[in-house]
Chains A and B, each alone.
Chain A
Amino acid sequence: MTSSLREKICISLAGLLFMTAIYMVFVYAPTERVMGPIQKIFYFHLSCALVTFLSFFTAFVSAIVYLIKKDLKWDILGAASVEIGLVFTTLVLATGMLWGRPVWNAWWTWDPRLTTSLILWFIYGSYFILRSSVDRQEKRAVFCAVLAIVGFVDVPIVFLSARLWRTIHPVVIRAGSIDMAPAMITTLIVALIAFTCLWGLLLYQRTRTLTLAGRVRLLERQLDGEGI
C-alpha cells in the first residue's frame, strides 16, 4: 500500500469518526438538565484538552530522546507536537471561555484550572519564540528540548489543579468513576477517538513538513556554497 493511499484512508477514517462524533453530540447524547444545550461544548472541549496533554507529552518524550541521541528527527517531532498542542490549547481556552460566559456569567476568571492552562499556553508559545531566535540548528534543538521538558511540569499541574485547589471548574473524571450518563460517556469516547485520530494525522503531516523545511534549508545552503 502506498503512503498516499494510506494517508487518504486515514483522512477518510478521521472524517467519518468526526461526523459520527458530531451526530452523537447533537442527536444521541442527552441534553444536560442544569446547563442545557451549552453543555454540549464539553465533548469537544475535553477531547481538545486531552489531545493537548498528549501533544505536550510527546514533545516531552521527544525532548528527552533528543538530548540522549542528538538525532534531529526527535527535535522535529518535538516541534511538530508543540505546534499541534498549542493549536489545541488555544481551542480549549476559546471554547472554555464560550462555555464560561453563559454558565459562570464571566468570560474569564482567575480560577486555578484556567490560570494554569493560560500559563501552559504562554510556555509553549515561548517555545516558538525561542525556536525562531536561535540560528544554529543543534543549539536551537537543545534549548527547545530543555524548554519542552521544563514546560511539561505545568501539564500535571493543569490536570490536578481542579482536584487540589478550590475551583469552580467542574471535575468530571474522578478516580474510578465518571459523573455522567452512559450515553454521554459513549459520545465522549467517540469524540476522543476522533480527536486522537486527527492528532495522529496532523503530527505525521507536520513532521513531514518540518523535515521538508530542513531539506529546503540544506539545499539553499548547498546552492549558496556553489555560488548561485
Chain B
Amino acid sequence: MNSELFLIAAYAIIWGGLFGYVFFAAGRRQVLAGRVRILEELISEQGAGK
C-alpha cells in the first residue's frame, strides 16, 4: 500500500509538472502574441497620424 502511494505521488508530480509547464508555455505564447499585435497596431496608428 505504502509503495503504491509513492507511485501515485510520483505520477501526480510528473503529470502535474508537465501539464503545468505545457499550460504555462501555451499561455505565455498567447499573451506575447497579443502584445505583438497591440504594439504593431500602435506603431501603424502612429505612422498614419504623422
Contacts and interface: CB of A to CB of B under 8 A. Distances in A.
A215 B3 contact: no
Contact of B32 (A87, A209, A222): A209
Given A41-B10, A102-B2, A212-B29, A223 B17 contact: no
B10 to A, nearest CB: 4
A41 B18 contact: no
A84 to B, nearest CB: 8
Interface string B7-47: 10111011001100110011011001101100110110010
A101 interface: yes
Nearest to B38: A219
Interface stretch (A92-100, A116-124, A128-136): A92-100
A198 interface: yes
Of A206, A212, A215, which is in contact with the most chain B CB atoms at under 10 Å from its CB? A212
Contacts of B43: 219, 222-223, 226
A91 B15 CA distance: 10
A196 to B, nearest CB: 14
A48 interface: yes
A61 to B, nearest CB: 22
Residues of A in contact with B, size category? 20 to 34
Q: How many B residues touch the partner, as a band?
A: 20 to 34
A206 B25 contact: yes
A169 interface: no
Interface string A138-157: 00000000000000000000
A209 B29 contact: yes
A205 B6 CA distance: 32
Given A98-B10, A202-B22, A219-B36, 15 more contacts: A41-B7, A41-B10, A44-B10, A44-B11, A48-B14, A87-B17, A94-B10, A94-B13, A95-B14, A198-B18, A212-B32, A213-B32, A216-B36, A226-B43, A228-B42
Interface of B: 2-4, 6-7, 9-11, 13-14, 17-18, 21-22, 25-26, 28-29, 32-33, 35-36, 39-40, 42-43, 46
